[in-house]
Amino acid sequence: MAKKGASDGGSEVAAARAEEQARQNRIREGSGKISELFDGQFNDQFYDDRKASFTDYALPQLADQTKSAQKELTFALDRRGALDSSSRASLGTELEKKRALLETEIKGKANDFANTARANVESARSDLTNTLNATGDVEGAVQSAQASSAVLSQTPGYSPLASMFSDFTGALGKQAAAEKAYAYGAGPRPAISTGLFGTPSGAVANLR
């Protein structure tokens, strides 16, 4: 009897080992299929394309808004007869600095989209692997991986860019109002003068 019990116990251990080995084999198979699916789709080119999709969306809007700001600047100077003034070059330089800064911000945001996509992909891969380890269900893991990859591959929706030069164009109006008030003796001298309105009556012009 003792020998029979020992034999039964040995068979159970052997069966458990065989089952565990089979489970580990299924996990390796499932992990390989998940990696094959994800690595084939979510590679460096995918993340470069994710960056490009945002810059291709945003940079044309920046160009359009820059043109609008340039027109507003031209109109503001033209109304004051200062199209050929030194202030035009100065304000034009400020506008270009603003444009360059906004372009840098857009490219930084494009990198953020790519990094977020990468983090989401790795998070999904980890979740799928954990589920596979717990269940050993290769078919279920592959189906879940296919569904996840379909969602992760979708390009996110982008919101139209807000007015990016409102501070610049708003400053044009404020500067003009301040200089106009000073020119007519109705306000203090602005800290910065573009020379659009000359000097107020009775004031001594700085010729240097």
Predicted confidence at residue 189, as pLDDT, reads 61
Question: What are the φ and ψ backbone dihedral angles of 186, each rounded to 5 degrees?
Answer: -110, 15
How many Å apart are CA 112 and CA 108, to the nearest integer?
6
Classify residue 187 as exposed, middle or buried by CB count within 10 Å of its CB (0-12, 13-18, 19+): middle
What is the residue-level pLDDT of the chain in tens, covering all 208 positions?
445 555 566 788 888 899 889 999 999 999 999 999 999 999 999 999 999 999 999 999 999 999 998 888 888 777 666 556 666 778 888 899 999 999 999 999 999 999 999 999 999 999 999 999 999 999 999 999 999 999 999 999 999 888 878 877 766 655 555 565 556 565 566 544 555 444 444 443 332 2
| HEC readout, 142-169 | HHHHHHHHHHHCCCCCCCCCCCCCHHHH
Predicted confidence at residue 158, as pLDDT, reads 92
Q: Would you say 190 and 179 are in contact if contact means Cβ atoms under 8 Å apart?
A: yes
Give the global pTM: 0.72
The contacts of residue 48 (CB under 8 Å, 6+ apart) are 114
The residue behind tokens 């003034």 is 85
